[in-house]
Amino acid sequence: DQQVKQNSPSLSVQEGRISILNCDYTNSMFDYFLWYKKYPAEGPTFLISISSIKDKNEDGRFTVFLNKSAKHLSLHIVPSQPGDSAVYFCASKIGNQFYFGTGTSLTVIP
């Protein structure tokens, strides 16, 4: 049973525009949410996170929004750059257990 879902396997965005990556989860007990970026043949790199007590966290070009009532998480990248092209994984945490989505491949077109 997939507790964390990324329903869009891929996304293409023009350079300079906003990229919005979405993630849905089913377990209301998750207390921490994370986004990772992954290039081919490399391990995922931590990007940004948010606690369940917040609804927004911003770090430079990256903002994560959490809508607990909808059990929905999103990552906004503004402005998008070609170097942002990668696979993005969302993850949810409860206790010491992490649940990952299947990833969204973002392509930023120059």
Partner 1 sequence: GAVVSQHPSWVICKSGTSVKIECRSLDFQATTMFWYRQFPKQSLMLMATSNEGSKATYEQGVEKDKFLINHASLTLSTLTVTSAHPEDSSFYICSATGTLTDTQYFGPGTRLTVL
Of 15-23, 42-50, 57-65, 78-86, the window that binds partner 1 (rule: CB under 8 A) is 42-50
Cα radius of gyration (the chain): 13
Pick between residue 4 and residue 13 the one whose CB is nearest to partner 1.
4
CA distance 21 to 19: 6
Question: What is the torsional sign of CA 85, 18, 46, 24?
Answer: negative
Q: How far is the CB of 43 from partner 1 (least distance, A)?
A: 4
**Would you say 87 and 105 are in contact if contact means Cβ atoms under 8 Å apart?**
yes
User: What residues from 71 to 90 belong to the interface with partner 1 (CB under 8 A)?
Assistant: 89
Among 32, 57, 62, 68, contact with partner 1 (rule: CB under 8 A)? 32
